Structure 1
Amino acid sequence: MEFTFRESCTLYGLLAETTSDIILKTDLSGVIVHASPAIERLGVRIASSPRLLDLVSESARAAVASELEAALAGQEAGRWVEFPAVSTDERDTWFELQARTLRDEQGAVYGALAVMRSIDEKRVLKDQLFAATYTDPLTRLTNRAAFISMLEHMVDAEMDGCLAMFSIDFFRTINMKYGQHTGDDVLRVFADLLREMLRSDDLISRIGSERFAVLLPRTSPSQAQAICSRVVATLADLRQTVGESRMAITASGSVAQIAESLDSTIERAELALFSAKAKGRNRLEMEKPRRVAA
């Protein structure tokens, strides 16, 4: 569509007053000389001559400054930059911004035109999708995919620590005797016990039907053994209320040092867990000492 100059001004006024986007114009020094009414939600008054960067949280100021400088330098193709904007009530509201060069009739740059678009809803949806992807819906612990990713990071970063694995004893029998609903309650009870007994830095995941994994950063094998032994002993000492019944729930556990590779760490922990079950369950086994090549 083609518009006259007056029609373009009318269209701009209509869009600026009805859109939730913040449309603003800066001079060559980055001072905002004009902005659409939507900027009022940030508590900003143009009469005070604020700079665009004054609206940006300190953590993202460099990225927004780079985008604005590119526009003021005459770069035509801008990109969207995400950043938290600081409002007068000091709450961070997330926006994305794109800036374009403003030129006069002689082609000289005299400022920049920018659009700030709220992305709070998009970030909430992104966080919800992330949680759905990496969270076990039954226990609200992280799932196997998240566990693998976290363990891989620890191995690659050569972080000291241990991997513990737990398996609820006779879980299939519980499901068959009391039903799957009771089995789900057992899983939630054990997940809550892990949250209560482990430290805030420990990363707890449900990695299978009745199996749980715990990453214990900056923890020696002896420290991990003491921590995990208490979990196994405490569970065995308590008769848990599950559904309408009170029953004894036990778990087998294992500990392996995070070393060599992701596969090696998991394999050593699983072998130790198999050993705990083979020796009668309701116990904790440490990984077997690794052989050192001559």
Structure 2
Amino acid sequence: MIEKLNLQEGVALYRLLADGSGDIVVKTDLKGYIVDASPAIAQLGFDVGANAHVGVHLLDLVGEEGKPQVAHAHGNAVAGGEDGAWIEVSAHTPDQRESWYRFRARALRDESGEVYGAISLMRSIDEQRELRDQLFAATYTDTLTRLTNRSAFVSMLEHMLGSEMKGCLGLFSLDFFRSINMKYGQHTGDAVLRVFADLLREMLRGDDIISRIGSERFAVLLPRTTAEQAEAICSRVVTTLAERRQKVGECEFAITASAGVAQISEDLDSTMERAEMALFTAKAKGRNRLEMERRDRPRFVAAPSATGQMHNRRHDD
């Protein structure tokens, strides 16, 4: 490892590293204005011609949300700070695509040790973020319907309860789903699940969270929704589904669903129990209908497993 370089050698090394890398290397003065940059700055739409980017401020390279972080990192560097921690910031490329970078700044000192500016590095992390997003999606997405899965649903419901966010939970169960599978085959059954998932996406609001939590069972979290509003929203789903004769593969038949709605309160077990009881009542009353929770009903046992899943009686048909 080279331990000590004179000024000219240091400049030569900087050029060698900067010119041969996809990293954006930027030299700035004490106020954050660029005095030199590597050719990779062209990634952000800046001309690499002589002095084309000189006078541009460092903050002009990053998105609005990242400006305070970059300003803090640069200020810490020119103040003599030595930590130079990595931060993640976004920037916009010439085609208006959002790109992500790791950013780090270090002080530049003259031969007397006086700080006269900073050198910053921006390293693209788009591939890493894409991989991270793919891993997240694989963990929390139901592969058949592309909705969030039960694990994600439990986490989001716990978050709503922990933050004391008001709202309602709606549980849906496709009626006679086991019979559909037996009569038409699993391929048709899978198509029915996708049809219902698409209907939920179509009819629910942008802030609502839709999950497939079991074989034929779906859950929707309705943030900041009163019981009356939740009843109206979920009733429209049940009614619309029943009114449409769906074309599924070579078959065309009516699909119906039962639903139960409960307010999100107390804890996860209580919220799930009340919605489950309402769903059970809807099925007991003939299916293809919605029932609201009733607070006066006696509680029944619904013990969570080690994975947070609720074990209760099943009502596939």
Same fold (TM over 0.5): yes
Name the CA distance, whole Å, in 1 between partners of 2:259 and 2:105: 57
- Whether the 8 Å CA contact 2:210–2:221 is kept in 1: the answer is yes
Give the match for residue 209 of structure 1: 215
Name the CA distance, whole Å, in 1 between partners of 2:98 and 2:246: 44
Q: Once the 2 structures are TM-superposed, how far is the Cα of residue 207 of structure 1 from its aligned partner?
A: 0.8
Shift in alpha-carbon separation, 1:43–1:196, aligned structure 2, 3 A: closer
- Whether the 8 Å CA contact 1:147–1:207 is kept in 2: the answer is yes
Runs (5+) with no aligned partner, structure 1: none
Q: Once the 2 structures are TM-superposed, how far is the Cα of residue 98 of structure 1 from its aligned partner?
A: 0.8
Name the CA distance, whole Å, in 1 between partners of 2:96 and 2:245: 49
Q: Quick check: 48-57 or 3-12, which moved more? A: 3-12
Structure with the largest fraction of helix = 1
- Whether the 8 Å CA contact 1:22–1:39 is kept in 2: the answer is yes
Name the CA distance, whole Å, in 2 between partners of 1:221 and 1:143: 24
Of 24, 35, 42, 1:40 maps to: 42
Q: Once the 2 structures are TM-superposed, how far is the Cα of residue 9 of structure 1 from its aligned partner?
A: 4.8
3-state SS of paired residue (1:255): strand
Name the CA distance, whole Å, in 1 between partners of 2:59 and 2:244: 58
User: Is 1:115 the equivalent of 2:121?
Assistant: yes
Shift in alpha-carbon separation, 1:139–1:86, aligned structure 2, 3 A: closer
- Whether the 8 Å CA contact 2:148–2:210 is kept in 1: the answer is yes
Which portions of structure 1, spanning 4 or more consecutive aligned residues, are displaced by more than 4 angstroms?
3-11, 86-91
Q: Deviations over 1:133-155 (max 9, x none)?
A: 22211111111122222222222
Q: TM-score, normalised by structure 2?
A: 0.84
Q: Once the 2 structures are TM-superposed, how far is the Cα of residue 126 of structure 1 from its aligned partner?
A: 2.3
Q: Once the 2 structures are TM-superposed, how far is the Cα of residue 131 of structure 1 from its aligned partner?
A: 2.3
Q: Once the 2 structures are TM-superposed, how far is the Cα of residue 71 of structure 1 from its aligned partner?
A: 1.0
User: Is 1:182 the equivalent of 2:188?
Assistant: yes
Give the match for residue 277 of structure 2: 271
Name the CA distance, whole Å, in 2 between partners of 1:231 and 1:87: 42
- Whether the 8 Å CA contact 1:68–1:99 is kept in 2: the answer is yes
3-state SS of paired residue (1:240): strand
Q: Deviations over 1:3-39 (max 9, x none)?
A: 8656655443332212100112122222221111111
Name the CA distance, whole Å, in 2 between partners of 1:238 and 1:85: 46
- Whether the 8 Å CA contact 2:43–2:94 is kept in 1: the answer is no
Give the match for residue 22 of structure 1: 24
The equivalences for 1:87-166 within 5 A come to 91-166=97-172
Q: Once the 2 structures are TM-superposed, how far is the Cα of residue 226 of structure 1 from its aligned partner?
A: 2.4
3-state SS of paired residue (1:63): helix
- Whether the 8 Å CA contact 1:55–1:87 is kept in 2: the answer is no
Name the CA distance, whole Å, in 2 between partners of 1:58 and 1:4: 37
Q: Quick check: 266-275 or 242-251, which moved more? A: 242-251
3-state SS of paired residue (1:84): strand
Give the match for residue 241 of structure 1: 247
Q: Percent identity?
A: 66
Shift in alpha-carbon separation, 1:27–1:80, aligned structure 2, 3 A: same
Q: Once the 2 structures are TM-superposed, how far is the Cα of residue 94 of structure 1 from its aligned partner?
A: 2.0
Alignment length (residue pairs): 291
Q: TM-score, normalised by structure 1?
A: 0.90
Q: Quick check: 156-165 or 81-90, which moved more? A: 81-90
Shift in alpha-carbon separation, 1:91–1:182, aligned structure 2, 3 A: closer
Q: Deviations over 1:90-131 (max 9, x none)?
A: 554322111112222222212212111112222222222222
Shift in alpha-carbon separation, 1:44–1:238, aligned structure 2, 3 A: closer
Q: Once the 2 structures are TM-superposed, how far is the Cα of residue 211 of structure 1 from its aligned partner?
A: 0.2
Give the match for residue 238 of structure 2: 232
3-state SS of paired residue (1:132): helix
Runs (5+) with no aligned partner, structure 2: 298-317
Give the match for residue 307 of structure 2: none
Q: Which amino acid aligns with 1:16?
A: A
